[in-house]
Amino acid sequence: MAISTSLWSFALVVGLLTLTPGLDTALILRTSALGLRRRAWGVVLGSQSGTLVWGALTSLGVTALFTASHLAYVTLRWIGAAYLLWLGVRMLRDTFRGLPLTGADESDLFTGKDSVTGGWRQGTLTNLLNPKMGAFYVAVLPQFIPAGASHFATGLLLTTVHVLLGLTWSALLIGFARVLHGWLRKPRARRLLDRITGTVIAAFGIRLALSD
């Protein structure tokens, strides 16, 4: 299989994965809809940084050792699930406690201003604490590396395709979320958005905890 064929085939697979609504989609839409544009881009860059790390580790064969260890996988899974549950429950709790929903008040691990750095930390941590990303890359990436090609170089090239697709789709999500910004100036609307997003994040945490 030629490298060009591998690129197009892999792009189709990860393109479908990118379009599937998930945790990243919820975080990007919520952050951007609240008018935190810089932070939203930070979440995007952090998420794609995590993807790049998973791709690089897979290309080096590190994640194969990780997924072969049941204890390591379960440990990371529980840490990730606990983080998502904490994030979702805290977001829900704050809406019922009547805390001020200002643009600079983020209900996450890295509270603070509308900064790219804070969003990047959140996006990176959320991605790297999801062991299913590592399992996906271990299962899928090697299948698209042609025989005789450099495993590491080709793996990074394929991962870059995934990252570029993710950046493109995230840009569309941020643009769409700007339409909601005017409506979200109302405190009731912001509470509704946080309750929906918090529920989605907590559900992902429960699903991760109960998954095999």
Three-state DSSP class for residue 188: helix
Picking from 91, 82, 75, 79, the residue whose alpha carbon sits closest to that of residue 27 is 91
Using one digit for the tens of pLDDT, what is the confidence trace for 23-66? 888 889 888 888 888 999 999 999 999 999 999 998 888 766 66
Q: Find where tokens 């080096």 sit.
A: 60
Q: Is 149 exposed, middle or buried (0-12, 13-18, 19+ CB in 10 A)?
A: middle
Give the number of other CB atoms < 10 A from CB of residue 154: 21
The pLDDT-based confidence of 107 (bands split at 50, 70, 90) is very low
Q: pLDDT per residue over 149-171, tens digit each?
A: 888 999 999 999 999 999 999 99
H runs (alpha helix) in 23-150: 23-33, 37-60, 62-68, 70-96, 116-128, 131-140
Residue 23 DSSP code: H
Contact residues for 160 (Cβ-Cβ < 8 A; gap 6+): 52, 55
User: What confidence score (pLDDT) does residue 94 get?
Assistant: 75
Tell me, yes or no, if the pTM score tops 0.85. no
DSSP-derived letter for residue 104 is: T
DSSP string computed for 163-183: HHHHHHHHHHHHHHHHHHTTG
Domain residue spans of the chain: 24-97+108-210
**What crossing angle do the helices spanning 131-140 and 70-96 adopt, rounded to 10°?**
130
